[in-house]
Structures are given as C-alpha cells and as structure tokens.
Amino acid sequence: MLLKYKSFIIMLGIMFLILPLVIIAQASNTVSTISFSEIKDRTPVDVKVSLINSSSISRIQIVYKSFQETEFRVREMELLGDIATYQIAAEDVSAPMLTYYLIIEMQAGTQETYPLGVPDAARPIDLTVSTVSEKDKEILILSPGANETVSLNDLFISISLVNAPDDVDISKTKIILNGEDISKNVMFAGDLLLYYPQNFEGSVEGGEQNLEIEVYNNDGELYHSIKRKFTAVDAITASNIGSGFRFYGNVAGEVRNEAFNGAFTLYNNIALSLNGAVNDWKFKGYGYLTSEENTSVQAQNRYSVSVESSWMKLRGGDSYPRYNNLLLNGKRIRGVNGIIDYGIFHMQGSYGEVRREIEGKLNNTFSKDNTPLQSNVIRIDSVKYGNPFGLVNFGVHSRKLLAGRIGLGGRETFEMGVSFLHAKDDANSIEFGAKPEENLVASTDIRLALDNQRIIFKTVGSMSVINSDITSGTYSDEQIDSIFASGSELGGDIESFKNIKNIISPFMTVNQFVEPLNVGGASSLATETSLELNYFNNNLKGSYIYRGNQFKSFGQEYTRTDVAGLNISDRFRTFENQLFFTLGYENLNDNLQGTKIATTTFQTLRASVSLFMRRDMPNITFSYTNNKNENGIEPTDSLNKFLSIDDITNRFSLNLGYDFNLKVKHNTSLGFMISNRDDNSFFNNDANYFSTSFTLNSYWTRAFVSNFSAIYYNSKISIVKYKYVTLSLGGRYLLLNDNIELSLNYSPSFGDFNRHAIDFTAAYQMVKNLWIRGQMRYYAMANASANIISGITVSYNF
Amino acid sequence: MKQMKIFLIIVLSAIFASANIFAQQNNETPVALIKKIIKDVSYKQIDATDWEIAKTGDPLKNGEQVKTGFKSLALVLFTDGTGLLRVRENSIMYIYGDRDGKKLNKNTFIEKGLIGFDVNKQDIEEFKFTTPTAVAAIRGTAGYLEVGPDSSTTVVCDHGKIEVQSLIGEKKKVMVEGGFALSILPNGKLFKGEMSPNQKNKFGKTKKSKARKIFIETEEGTIELEFYPEED
C-alpha cells in the first residue's frame, strides 16, 4: 500500500515536471522574496518581505484572513530599509489556510499589490496552516527547555518517547547536537533517553546549541523529527542570570547601492538594539538611522525605548499599540504607549504622532477671474503670492492620536473594557494641504469564558464621529443658526446638531463637516459579536457584524463599512486529530442606511477537508469556496445597468505537503488552485485563474541545503490573458566550521511576466559574533534595463 | 574443586541475576526526572536504605523519594510531559507512576514540606497528590500544597480546579477553584476561602527557582558557593 502510494507521489512529480508550462514565484516589481516562520494553528507567524527599489516605497500593508473568515485584516508592516516585517497574531492563524496579499504604496502616490493585480486581476496567495502535529506531542524534549539558557555544569538532554506509538523503534532514535550524531553516547532508560555531556569532556562548548531528534519506525524509515535551540553558558555566566543587571544587543551597519532603471542610489543605515534586565524588569532600546530619511516623505528612521515587568509595559518612541479591531490595531505611533495589568485591573494609554507633516508644493497662481475649476486649486495668501488662488500638489498634515482603555476582569472568565480614540490633524502644520480632519471613537468590549474556555462570548461595539474639515474650528450656536437656516436641506436638523455640538465639542471640533448628523441612524456604529463553542471535537463559531456606512476610525482606516450579517463556521477534528473538516457560511448585505440604489447581498460558502497523517504520508488539504454577490439590478436596466452586480465565483484548491527520506531528507509541497467567476452583470467580467506551485527542499548534508520551486500561473479576465512560469533553483552552503555561509538563487520567469533574477549572499564570521555579509541581487526585466542591488552589512552581537 | 564450582555458579548466577535486574531496570521507564537542583537535594531508590546526593538529570522511578534540605530546591519533571513540581526547602516526597498502556497515572505523596505544581490539562490520566490528611486530584492546574509539621494540609489553587478529599474526619470532597485555598486540619476540619495575600505571595515565590552563586578565587582553585535568595 505504502509502495503504491509512493509510486503515486513520484508519478505526480513526474507529471508536474513534464507539464508544458511550468511556473513559479509571484510576479512583482517591488517584492524580491517573502518568507514566513512556521505556520501552525494558533501560533504567531513572522512575515518578512525583502524589497526591490525600497526607496520608492512609502508603506507596505499585509492583508490577510484565515479560511473561516471572509473579511481581510489590513495591517501596516514595519518597514526598515529593504526589509518589511510583521507578526500575525496567534488568534488570527487558523487551520487549514491563511490567505494573504500585500499592498505596496509608492512615494509617487501610486500603489500596487503582491501578487500584482489583486483583487481584480489576480488572486491572493493561500498558505497551508498545519495543526500542531500529534507527532510533536509524541516526542517530548524534557530538557533543555526551548530557548533555555543552562549552565554547562547542569546541562543534560532528556527525550521522552513514552507517548510514541508502538511502531516506533526507540533504539533507532538519532540525537544530533550541533550537527554531530551523539546517539552512541545516549543512555536508554525504557522510553526515556538521557545524555550527560559532562561524561564526554569537550562535547559541548558554550554558546547557542542546535538539537535535533530523529525518530524512526520499525522499518527504519524516518517517522518524525523535531528541533530545539538552547544556550549553554559557563557556571559564572549562569549564576549571573536572574540577578543584577545583564544586557545583550546587536549593532549593524549597511551600505547599499541600488541601480534601478539606470539611476544609482546609495543608502547607508545603522541599527542598534540593546536588551537589558535587572531582576524581573526588562529594558529594550532600538534605533535605526538611514540616509533615506528626509522631510518630503514619512519618517524612515525608527527608535524606541521600553521597560516592562510582569504587571506593566511602557514604550516610548515608535510603537504599534493593539486595542480592539474596530479602534486601533498595529498602527505606528511615535510617542508613548503604556499598559498596566494589575490583577483584574487593566489600563492602556497611547499618545503620539501617527503621521508627520509633509509640505505641499505651489505650482501656479491664479487671479480671481481666471481660476480653473480643479480640486487641487485652493485659496492661498494673496499678499504673499500675488494671487488669491493656487494650483498645488497637496501635502499632508501632521496627525496626533490619543487612545486609552480601562478594563476589569481576566481573560480566564470575564473581562470588560471601555476605550476611546481621538485623532486630529494639525491644521497649521503645512501651508498647502487637503482639508485637515478629526476623528473621535468610543468603544466597549466584553469577553466571557465559561466551562474552562469551552464557551467564549465576545462582543465589541464602537461609535465614531468624524469631522472632514476642521479649518474653521467649532461653530457657535449663532453660526449654526445662520449656516443651517440658509441651507434648506439641513435646516430641520439645527437643534439636533446643536445638541451634538454641546455633547462632543469639549472633545472635538464641531462644525457643519461633522458626521454623522443623525446619531440615531446607527450609521457610525460598528459592532462585532461572536459565540464560540468547543465541544465534542468541534470548534463552532457564530458571529454577527454591523458596520454603518459612516463608521470611521483613524486607527483602523481600512475597516470595511456599510456591511452587516451573519457568519457561522465549524471545524471538526477526528481520527485522533488527523482528519479535519471545516464548513462555513456567511451572509452579508450592504446599504444599511439606504444610501444606495440597491442592496447587495454577499453570500459565501466554504468547505475544506484536511488530512494530517501521523504515518509516512503527505498532508493533504482540499478546499472549496463559493461566493455569490447580487443586487437585483438587471444588466438590461437602461438607467442603472452600470450598477448591476450579479456574479458567482467557484474556487477549488488542493495542497499537498510531504517529507520523505530518499538518500537524504527532503520536504516538498505541491499546490493547485482553480477559480472561475461567472459575471452576469452588465460588465460580463468573467474571470478564470489556474495556478500551481511545487517546492522541493533537500538537506544533503548539515552544511548544504538546496531548494527548487516552480510556479505556473494562467488567468483570463474578460478577454485579457496573462500567463507565466517561474522557476527557482538555489542552495545554501556552510564551510570553515560554519564561519562562511554562501547562498545563491536563480529565478527565471517566462511568458507575460518575463524576468531573470539572481540573489547571491556571502557571509563571513571574522571573529566570534562579528559578521560581514555581502549581498547582490540582479534583476533583468524584459524591455527594461537590468537592476542591481548590492550591499555590505557588518553586524556584531554582544 | 567442587566447592570452587559451586562458588563460581553462585557468583555467575549473582552476576546474571544482577545483570538481569539491571536490564529490567533499564527497561522500566522512569516516572520523572530531576530537572534542576539547588544546594542540598537527595533521593532514595526503592528498597534502598540510604539517601544519595541527587544531580540534575537523575531519573526517578516508581516509588522513589526526593528530599530537600535547608534553603534548597528541586525541580521535578514528569516523563510524559504533563507537569512540573517545585520541591521547596525541607520537603520529602514520593513519586508514584502506574503505567496503563500509554496512560501514566501519577500520584505524589508529600510527607512534609511545600510542593508547587504546574500541571497540564489531563485527558484521561490521573494526577493526584496525597498527604497524610488529604488526596487532591488535579486537571490542568497551578498552585501548591503544603504539609505542616502537624500533618495539616493546605491546598492552594491559582487557576484550574482541584478536587480534594479529606482522609480523616468526615472525609468530605471539596472542589477548590482558581483563586481559592483549602485547609485540612489534623482533626479533619476543613476551611475553604479565597487565597490570602500571604498565600498569593507564597505561590509567587514557589515559581521562582533561581539560585545565586558566589565564586571565590583561591590559590587552590575556584570555590563555588550556591545559596538560595532570602524569601521571608
């Protein structure tokens, strides 16, 4: 049976290789590579994006969602030089799939996505989310603990296989420490394996240690392997841990030259991080200075200092405070962010600048008589510039944000909190800018957990007020009378407007640009309520959302508004957590305030089956999604046909992952995705996508690892066809006792996306902890000049 | 000559028997192991009469004992990965483990002293503590048990739930939830209440397991003095 299966896998591989058009990496003008840490259910995922021509990029956002959800979360990534990073929170990572794409905003004001064309001309990328492997629970490294720092005198390695199945041959277990097989020195005590390095002098030296355990079945085939890192230190260093002041850090400097479309740009940057601790108090400092910093773009330098203990955290400088998803979550603030968690009492406060001022540019001036009617022609100081109107490129006002939350209770049982956000542009910060705005949001949140977290009820409600032009300040009652009385369409709301003004004017500017005018209409209300039940191997979750069309929080600028509806999903696991079924349905609609000519319903049905076998078989995930959007307007409607929405999208995907031993260890993945959109609206914008990808990583020796990948992409949107194949071949090689690391990757793309890319990196450890690293990236696009990024980085850990 | 043969047979039989016993012992999976030691920790094998000085990594088999001295500490890990015990100063405990297939039922007898525990959620296995006056059954809990000189028992539950049964008096069963504590007096009387500030403080201290060392350079070499920070 096993042999049959292997043959099938090999056949699949061969079939794949002989496909006439094979593919690879995603097309992009700005993204070189994107990497993820291990993607496991309910585990944080670190995302790292390497960029091409990073100086042209002003901001990067990652947009992601789990399979059970239909709404994407938009989060700003930390952009430092040519690297952007973000950590996706554990609660947002859910098996079987994580879907993502990137939004890249350019300094020139344009924007693109990765992959190019999302959502209209390309699909976001699916990543398989594995569940915590049952095999991981079967192989227990009792000692050392993960990332533990342990004295060499006290060091011992202990592996427990008491939970391993009967077909595991414990005597064949290999224990590899820092690349060296030490199995012959291991003592077996039943299902417990013990290794005492003190019995083998010189077998372990101080420093970071890499431990790998390989467990084999009775047939001698690799059953599972796990890794762990820990640090061994001498007795004196170990005794200092936990007492007195201790610190460590890193300093790195980079010189980088980017030759892009014939233009050369030189960048210099330096980064310093310091970590210190005394008793239970931890201190961190971080600074990043770059030659890219200039006043015509948002801040490129980064700095922060923080102190934290078991009950408080305080961070100054750049921070990314997290409140609820409707208020503020992950936006960069330059100021201060503090959190206190003392028993059942919780408090958080954040204040700082979310964007700095960038002055606009006056291009031309006009007299009153010849002023053109354009949105970027504004009134200017006629005494200063000779004319009363000017054609400008708009700048950006500086914006400060204040947020806070007070909460009572604990996550184990019941917690509730109230929070607020106030953000305001500084109208005087620049001379030529668009209208300065102000935003006030109030929010409450409740979390109730019962029966040992098997029942979780959560609700968040927020109400916002926004002023889209605060230039004139708060109006008096007399001004309101005169302005509103003269406008017949607003005249009837004078008293309610005055009432609103009296209530909120102590907190924000109130004039005729305040929205909503009618609070009772719930147009600025946003709520999310969910109930989660975890019983009988089911994770059943039902939720309801409501977002009025005027809800706006400057802390979460990409929240989808004018939508309401229900979402229900269930994930069922069986066969000892080896088989997972997911089923979900969502029904949303817009036009909550009746501001549109028709109401659109958005229905989504999702189903998936995942197989995570403990045996020597691939992990398989098959998923199906059906989206149906419809607003009832006929495409033949002569008046409203351009507003008609009527489309159905069917999407299937199959992902396989397989680790196997063929002479050496390999891991592979193979994915297929097919999507078909049938658009019956006036536009008839049918779309078909097909993509497949294959990756193979081979661990030839501890020092040599190779990788191969191929992607094929084929789409047809309306009448536009787009097709390409990308291959990638590379490897990493360590030599001279790991003091030199070489890596090379060549990635050609053919078809409508035609590019050849070479990445080469050489790193050398000159003395302990002092590394010099050279990097060269070469990109040649069809009908464009070759682009080369070359740089040298020196870093030192202390 | 005949006597010599008999002697050899006896010796070889003894060697074989010892080897067989040794082999059997090696086939027996320890119930726990000593993860960390501070200062004066010793253990006693089953059927042994003397205590031996313990060192980190020493396995503990069914029925073996651990003893800590003044200002000393031992961290004990169960080999099925289900929990960690912190044996505080001047304590004596016995480790018992009954393997039933893949299931390991654990029972720790605390003769005296204070044991902090951090136990993962148990599916089907039993995890019990026994004292001279009570039995505590645990499922996914952190807290501590203290046995006084008069055999009174205090059970403190920081989070999770503990089912406690008194072994004397009315032998009542009481559930102790997170944030509560139960005292069982030598006469069998039970007192349940919220964790007192003193108990919270004591629980916090049970989680600390860092020792301090002083190194004194002498002509003969380095002298290492290890001590446990003052807690009271």
Residue pLDDT, tens place only, A753-772? 888 989 999 999 998 889 99
**Nearest Cα residue to A461 out of A552, A544, A526:** A526
- Whether residue A560 contacts residue A548, with contact meaning beta carbons closer than 8 Å, is answered with no
Does the residue B159 lie in any domain?
Answer: yes
Query: What is the least distance, in Å, from the CA of B81 to any CA of chain A?
Result: 7
Q: Report pLDDT for A75.
A: 86
Share of chain A above pLDDT 70, in %: 92
Chain B residues in contact with A192 (beta carbon < 8 A) = 29-30, 33, 59, 79
Write the pLDDT tens digit of every residue in A658-713.
888 788 888 899 999 999 999 999 999 899 999 999 999 998 987 899 999 999 99
- Give first-to-last CA distance, chain A, whole Å: 54
Average pLDDT value for residue range A335-363: 94
Between strands B65-68 and A563-574, the pairing is: unpaired
Q: How confident is the model at residue A412 (pLDDT cuts 50, 70, 90)?
A: confident
Closest residue in A to B100 (Cα) is A162
Q: Which helix (H) or strand (E) holds A478?
A: helix A477-486
- pLDDT exceeds 70 at position A15: no
- Higher-scoring residue by pLDDT: B106, A489: B106
Q: Tell me if B30 and A242 make a contact (CB, 8 A cut-off).
A: no
Question: Distance between CA atoms of B19 and A773, rounded to whole angstroms?
Answer: 57
- Higher-scoring residue by pLDDT: A398, A20: A398
Q: Tell me if B77 and A156 make a contact (CB, 8 A cut-off).
A: no
A234 Cβ under 8 Å from any chain B Cβ = no
Of A140, A188, A194, the CB nearest to B57: A194
Does the residue B61 lie in any domain?
Answer: yes
Of A142, A189, A412, the CB nearest to B81: A142
Query: What is the least distance, in Å, from the CA of B55 to any CA of chain A?
Result: 8
Question: Distance between CA atoms of A194 and A191, rounded to whole angstroms?
Answer: 10
Question: Distance between CA atoms of A490 and A654, rounded to whole angstroms?
Answer: 56
Does the residue B7 lie in any domain?
Answer: yes
Structure-token match 């500490």, residue found: B73
- pLDDT exceeds 70 at position A574: yes
Q: How confident is the model at residue B217 (pLDDT cuts 50, 70, 90)?
A: low
Q: Report pLDDT for A447.
A: 94
Chain B residues in contact with A199 (beta carbon < 8 A) = none
Half-sphere exposure of A175 (CA within 13 A, CB side): 26
Q: Work out the angle at residue A459's Cα, subtended by the Cα atoms of residues A454 and A461, and round it to the nearest 5 degrees.
A: 170
Write the pLDDT tens digit of every residue in A550-570.
999 999 988 889 999 999 999
A242 Cβ under 8 Å from any chain B Cβ = yes
Q: Report pLDDT for B110.
A: 93
**CB interface of A with B, residues 741-760, below 8 Å:** none
- Whether residue A570 contacts residue A540, with contact meaning beta carbons closer than 8 Å, is answered with yes
Query: What is the least distance, in Å, from the CA of B139 to any CA of chain A?
Result: 11
- pLDDT exceeds 60 at position B4: no
Q: Which amino acid is at A399?
A: R
State CA A448 to chain mean position distance.
27
Average pLDDT value for residue range A297-316: 91
Chain B residues in contact with A235 (beta carbon < 8 A) = 213, 215, 224
Both B2 and B46 in one domain: the answer is no
Q: SS3 of A498, please?
A: helix
Structure-token match 């390991």, residue found: B104
Q: How many CB pairs under 8 A join A and B?
A: 73
- pLDDT exceeds 90 at position B53: yes
Write the pLDDT tens digit of every residue in B62-104.
999 999 998 899 999 998 888 889 999 999 999 998 877 777 8
Chain A residues in contact with B37 (beta carbon < 8 A) = 154
- pLDDT exceeds 80 at position A517: no
Q: Tell me if A189 and B28 make a contact (CB, 8 A cut-off).
A: yes
Both B92 and B103 in one domain: the answer is yes
- pLDDT exceeds 60 at position A490: no
Write the pLDDT tens digit of every residue in A131-152.
766 777 788 899 998 878 888 8
Both B164 and B185 in one domain: the answer is yes
Structure-token match 């060091």, residue found: A155
What secondary structure letter does DSSP report for A169?
-
Q: Report pLDDT for A10.
A: 40
CATH number at residue B38: 2.60.120.1440
- Higher-scoring residue by pLDDT: B10, A132: A132
Both B118 and B10 in one domain: the answer is no
Write the pLDDT tens digit of every residue in B175-198.
898 889 999 988 888 899 888 888
Number of domain units in chain B? 2
Question: Distance between CA atoms of A437 and A511, rounded to whole angstroms?
Answer: 12
Both B21 and B36 in one domain: the answer is no
A352-356, B24-28, B57-61: least confident range = B24-28
Write the pLDDT tens digit of every residue in A90-107.
888 888 889 999 999 887
Both B49 and B111 in one domain: the answer is yes
Q: Tell me if B102 and A163 make a contact (CB, 8 A cut-off).
A: yes
- pLDDT exceeds 70 at position A11: no
Range of the domain at B17: 1-29
Q: Tell me if B212 and A239 make a contact (CB, 8 A cut-off).
A: yes
- Provide the greatest CA pair distance for chain A: 96
Query: What is the least distance, in Å, from the CA of B79 to any CA of chain A?
Result: 6
Q: Report pLDDT for A26.
A: 59
A243 Cβ under 8 Å from any chain B Cβ = yes
Q: Report pLDDT for A9.
A: 40
**CB interface of A with B, residues 439-458, below 8 Å:** 452
Both B70 and B5 in one domain: the answer is no
Cβ atoms within 10 Å of A314's Cβ, excluding its own: 16
Question: Distance between CA atoms of A606 and A624, rounded to whole angstroms?
Answer: 6
Does the residue B232 lie in any domain?
Answer: no
Question: Distance between CA atoms of A127 and A693, rounded to whole angstroms?
Answer: 12
Both B17 and B100 in one domain: the answer is no
Return the residue in B22, B28, B35 with the most chain A beta carbons within 10 A, the one to mutate for interface testing.
Answer: B35
Chain B residues in contact with A241 (beta carbon < 8 A) = 210
Does the residue B54 lie in any domain?
Answer: yes
A115-129, A389-403, B6-20: least confident range = B6-20
Contacts of A680 (CB under 8 A, 6+ apart): A635, A646, A647, A648
- pLDDT exceeds 60 at position A752: yes
Query: What is the least distance, in Å, from the CA of B211 to any CA of chain A?
Result: 7
- pLDDT exceeds 70 at position B206: yes
Q: Tell me if B215 and A235 make a contact (CB, 8 A cut-off).
A: yes
Both B6 and B65 in one domain: the answer is no
Both B9 and B35 in one domain: the answer is no
Does the residue B69 lie in any domain?
Answer: yes
Q: How confident is the model at residue A330 (pLDDT cuts 50, 70, 90)?
A: confident
- pLDDT exceeds 80 at position B117: yes
C-alpha dihedral sign at A199, A205, A208, A211: negative
Domains along chain A with CATH numbers: 28-114 (2.60.40.10), 134-240 (2.60.40.10), 361-394 (no CATH)
Q: Tell me if A243 and B212 make a contact (CB, 8 A cut-off).
A: yes
**Nearest Cα residue to A439 out of A404, A406, A402, A484:** A402
Return the residue in A155, A158, A451 with the most chain B beta carbons within 10 A, the one to mutate for interface testing.
Answer: A158
Q: Tell me if A140 and B80 make a contact (CB, 8 A cut-off).
A: yes
Question: Which residues does B contribute to its contact with A (CB < 8 Å)?
Answer: 26-30, 33, 35-37, 56-57, 59, 77, 79-81, 102, 104, 140, 159, 178, 210-213, 215, 224, 226
Q: Tell me if B27 and A241 make a contact (CB, 8 A cut-off).
A: no
Both B122 and B60 in one domain: the answer is yes
Chain A residues in contact with B207 (beta carbon < 8 A) = none
Q: Report pLDDT for A24.
A: 33
**CB interface of A with B, residues 403-432, below 8 Å:** 412
Does the residue B208 lie in any domain?
Answer: yes
Average pLDDT value for residue range A62-89: 84
Both B136 and B148 in one domain: the answer is yes
**CB interface of A with B, residues 158-177, below 8 Å:** 158, 160, 162-163
- Whether residue A528 contacts residue A556, with contact meaning beta carbons closer than 8 Å, is answered with no
Share of chain B above pLDDT 90, in %: 30
Q: Tell me if A192 and B57 make a contact (CB, 8 A cut-off).
A: no
Write the pLDDT tens digit of every residue in A167-184.
889 989 999 888 788 998
Q: How confident is the model at residue A391 (pLDDT cuts 50, 70, 90)?
A: very high
Residue count of chain B, please give it. Answer: 232
Q: Tell me if A191 and B79 make a contact (CB, 8 A cut-off).
A: yes
Average pLDDT value for residue range A474-487: 76
- pLDDT exceeds 70 at position B23: no
Average pLDDT value for residue range A402-425: 93
Q: Report pLDDT for A21.
A: 30
